[in-house]
Every structure is written in C-alpha cells, then in structure tokens.
Amino acid sequence: MSRSPLPARILIPVANPLTAEELIKLGAAILDKRGELTALGIVEVPEGMPLSEGATRARHARRLLQRVLDFAPEGTTIHPIVRIGRRAAEGIIEASGEQESDLVIFGWGGKAPNARNGHGPAVFSPTIDEVVRDSPCDIAVVKQRGATTIRRILVPVRGGPHAELAIRFADAIARTHGATVAVLHLVPPGITATVRAQAEHALAAFMKEYLHGDGEALLREAPNVRAAILREAEKADLVVMGASAEPFGSNGEPYLFGALPESIAARAKPTVIVVKTREQIASATFDQLAARAETLAAADRAAEAVRAVPARVDRWFGESNFHHSEFGDLARLTALKTKQGATVSLVLPTLNEAETIGPIVERAIKEMVERFALLDEILVIDSDSDDRTRQIATDAGARVVSHSEVLPRYGTFRGKGEALWKSLYETTGDIVVWADTDVHNWHPRLVYGTLGPLLHEPRLQ
C-alpha cells in the first residue's frame, strides 16, 4: 500500500488562543508521530514605526499563546512563537519558511465580504487569501464549528492530489478518534450499470490506497452536487475535502480552493476542513495575469525592503525581547530541554561571597535539579576568595574550582572575565548560563529567564 508521509511540521497561526483548541487538536491528529506543532502569533506594526516598537505587544502575545500548550494532546510537541511584521500574511509566510513547515492550518470564522486583498473581495480573509496564493506549503482552512466528539468523517472526492491529501488527513484524524471515514463520490443520475460498476471499482481502489481501515464507500447519483454533499454532511461530525481546480467562477470571482469546497465550508453544519496541496493557482486571462504580476512585483519590493539589514535588526530586537514570567513553568521548560536533547550548565562566579553563595546553591539545586531536572551541572568558579566561599559552596552541593588553577599555561589574571571564559573549559553543557552571586534576593528566574528563550527559540542559539 502506497502512503505519503503525514506532515512533520505544522504551523497554526493563532489569532485568538481561546478559540484555538479545535485547531490544535486537529493539527495534532494530522501530525506525524515524531513531528511538531508551532502555534504562531503575529504582531503587526504599521508602516512608519520601527518594528522594535512591537516588543511589548510581542511579550504579551507570547504569554497569551502559552494557553494553547494545554490544548495539545499528551505526547504532542508544540512551540508557541511570535513574529513581528507589517502584515500578518508576510509574517506567516516567513515563519513557514523558517520552520520548514509542511502544512499551515488556518481557522476561518466566516466570510469577510467587505475586505479586499488586491484581487477583489476576500474569499476567506485578506491574510488567508494572500498566504494561500503564495502557497509556501500545503494549506488547510478549517471552518470551525467546535468539533469535539468525532465519530464519522465525510470525505467527498473526485480524484486528484487535493483529494489524496484530504483522505490522508481524514484517515489520520479517524485513527486518533476511532472514527469511521465515509468516502463520497457523486455521479450524474441515469448512468449505465457498466459506468456505475467502473465508478464503484475506482472508488474502492482509491480507498484501499489511502485508508488504513475499510471505511464506508458512498456512491451516489445526484443532479446537484453541492446539495448532495450538504445532505451527507448532516450525518457527519467532520467534513474533509480537497480543493477543486477552477480558479474563477463565471462572474470572474476568484476561487482559492474552488467554488464547491468554499460553498460547502460556508454552509455545512459540522466543522469543515478544506485542503490544498502546494500548487500554483491555474492561469487566468492576460489582463488578470498582468495585474497580478504588478501586484507581485510590488509585494517583492516591499519584502526586499523588510529584509534590509536595519529592518531585520530592528525586528530581531522586537521579537527577541523576553520576560522571565514567560518561562516560569519549569516542567514545560524541562520537557523542552529533554526533547531537544540539550544539557545545561549553571556557572556561579564568586569572589568573597560567603554571605550569599550557600543559599544560592541550595535553591538552585532544590528548584532546578531535584524538583525539575532543568540543570545538568552547577559549577562555582571562584576567583581565589580569602573567606569561606569555596567551602560553603562545596558543602551546599556545588562543584567548585578556582580559576587560577584552570588552564594555568595561559596564565591567570584578576577579574570576572577570567572566571567566565575559563568556566567554559570546565563545563560540559550544550548551554551555559552565568548568574551573579553577590545578591541576597537571588531567584531561579535569573536562570530560567535567560535559558527560556534559547530553548523556545532555537534560532537564538
């Protein structure tokens, strides 16, 4: 049996974390068992303002996105990230490339008839339309209607790569929920017995190729395809269907997924997922192509301006401005570290810190070694203290070295810099965190506030 792999990296743009549960659970069901979900928040900064102005809103968005972590089924890896940009679509496209996404899943609340996207009225929304047209990877648009219990999944098919993607996703969701997949194929009324037999054989072969179980084959004669699908949808908890080929209707209105799937998504009672493989929209008239070429050229110029070094630096500062409270869940942070196979060393430089070093080491061990295995090593590197610093740190449970005894062939010099660079020789962690020791109100956030961004955003490493 031939099977295409399920997506290993799924990107889910999240406009409202409170309504994202259905999207996250559907994404987890479609995901390859070794894959990862990324929940993406976008902060839009208007033209004329530095992108770094979005830093505060980005921190707030990251805190909100933490809520989606509770929606992921056990064993599913999910990363919340926030990107800053001029337009949401631009941020989604860039993030999908950065994450090497195989699939982008959009939630769709309904049509926005007054919104325009440069190609006429928006089909789904200006953001979704633009991302779908650029097709960075496979796309799924979910008309959300709160699918919780899924026992029957309807898949209307006509063949082709979009239908294959639809049935593959439906099969994965069905296996997660223990549901039945009903594959519907419609034929014109009054066909001959021979033609009907050929259609039945083709439908059976299609299902055998893409379903793990037997499924339910539905061959129906119908004069009105849309009405027939909507009738069958009333018996289902979820509808999954592929895009159709036509780019424009008879009135010139654009179809991103085809008139039929878009109509079913808008009218069916259960949740509907419409999927499209990574293919270019079919060609249109010369005038339409010329208009699109100019729009694309303008978009390319705008994108190139955003990629200029000052803008990239400005955006980096905005997106990389974190607060320790975003990483206060040490269980999740430890799980993320374990998933990445990373090790972490904490280095505590000291010089006559007998008054403070003991409680610091004890708290670090209690909170980040014993309670949560966030740290793999705690090293106190001492600059030849003449008080009891080294003995107190040793008694508290740390490994203690004097920097003057490390790499003596390079000499030894007074100063904190000496301790810090020599600590890199003494430690074994993939990530090394330094924290000051001359403070009385020392808190583990001094460690996880630094470590959190590195584990949540590997690109920062």
Is the Cβ–Cβ distance between 234 and 269 less than 8 Å? yes
The amino acid at 153: I
Assess whether 307 and 365 both reside in one domain. Answer: no
Q: Do the domain assignments include residue 200?
A: no
Q: Do the domain assignments include residue 155?
A: no
Burial of 342 (0-12, 13-18, 19+ CB in 10 A): middle
d(CA 163, CA 169): 10
Assess whether 289 and 359 both reside in one domain. Answer: no
Q: Which residues pair with 431 in a beta bridge?
A: 344
The parent domain of residue 317 ranges over 1-144+283-321
* pLDDT over threshold 90, residue 401: yes
Q: Do the domain assignments include residue 248?
A: no
* 3 state SS of 360: helix
DSSP state, residue 136: -
Is the Cβ–Cβ distance between 170 and 275 less than 8 Å? no
Q: Do the domain assignments include residue 18?
A: yes
Assess whether 420 and 334 both reside in one domain. Answer: yes
pLDDT at residue 288, as a whole number:
44
Assess whether 309 and 382 both reside in one domain. Answer: no
Assess whether 123 and 1 both reside in one domain. Answer: yes
Number of domains in the chain: 2
Residue 133: which pLDDT band, with cuts at 50, 70 and 90?
confident
d(CA 185, CA 315): 49
Instruction: Please name the residue ranges forming H helices in 320-351.
Output: 330-340
Looking at 291, 321, 351, the residue that finishes a domain is 321
Assess whether 310 and 351 both reside in one domain. Answer: no
How does strand 271-276 pair with strand 138-143? antiparallel
Q: Do the domain assignments include residue 57?
A: yes
The residue with tokens 């008694």 is: 395
The residue with tokens 């005894």 is: 405
pLDDT at residue 34, as a whole number:
87
Q: Do the domain assignments include residue 406?
A: yes
Q: Do the domain assignments include residue 414?
A: yes
- CATH classification at residue 340: 3.90.550.10
d(CA 428, CA 241): 51
pLDDT at residue 268, as a whole number:
93
Q: What does the CA dihedral 195, 201, 206, 209 come to, rounded to 10 degrees?
A: -160
* Highest mean pLDDT out of 49-58, 90-99, 249-258, 373-382: 373-382
The sign of the dihedral angle between the CA atoms of 89, 95, 97, 100 is negative
Q: Do the domain assignments include residue 417?
A: yes
pLDDT at residue 248, as a whole number:
46
Assess whether 316 and 357 both reside in one domain. Answer: no
Assess whether 299 and 381 both reside in one domain. Answer: no
CA distances from 199 to 170, 171, 299 (A): 21, 21, 45
Residue 144 phi/psi, 5-degree rounding, is -80, 125
d(CA 77, CA 68): 12
Mean pLDDT for the stretch of residues 12-28: 91
Assess whether 1 and 139 both reside in one domain. Answer: yes
DSSP state, residue 221: E
* 3 state SS of 367: helix
Assess whether 29 and 132 both reside in one domain. Answer: yes
Longest dimension (CA), the chain: 100
The number of beta carbons lying within 10 Å of the beta carbon of residue 75 is 7
The model carries a pTM of 0.76
The number of beta carbons lying within 10 Å of the beta carbon of residue 280 is 9
Whole-angstrom Cα Rg for the chain: 28
d(CA 174, CA 35): 18
Is the Cβ–Cβ distance between 124 and 117 less than 8 Å? no
- CATH classification at residue 310: 3.40.50.620
d(CA 232, CA 243): 18
Select the more confidently predicted residue: 410 or 118: 410
Report the run of H or E that residue 273 belongs to, with start and end: strand 271-276
d(CA 353, CA 150): 61
CA distances from 385 to 107, 305, 411 (A): 60, 54, 18
Is the Cβ–Cβ distance between 23 and 142 less than 8 Å? yes
Quick: pLDDT tens for 64-117: 888 888 899 988 989 899 999 888 988 899 899 888 999 999 998 765 444 444
pLDDT at residue 293, as a whole number:
45
d(CA 261, CA 264): 5
Looking at 296, 321, 346, the residue that finishes a domain is 321
- How many CA atoms within 13 Å lie on the side-chain side of 181? 28
Quick: pLDDT tens for 278-316: 754 443 343 443 444 444 444 444 445 545 667 777 777
pLDDT at residue 212, as a whole number:
86
DSSP state, residue 254: B
Assess whether 7 and 135 both reside in one domain. Answer: yes
Assess whether 294 and 391 both reside in one domain. Answer: no
d(CA 92, CA 136): 9
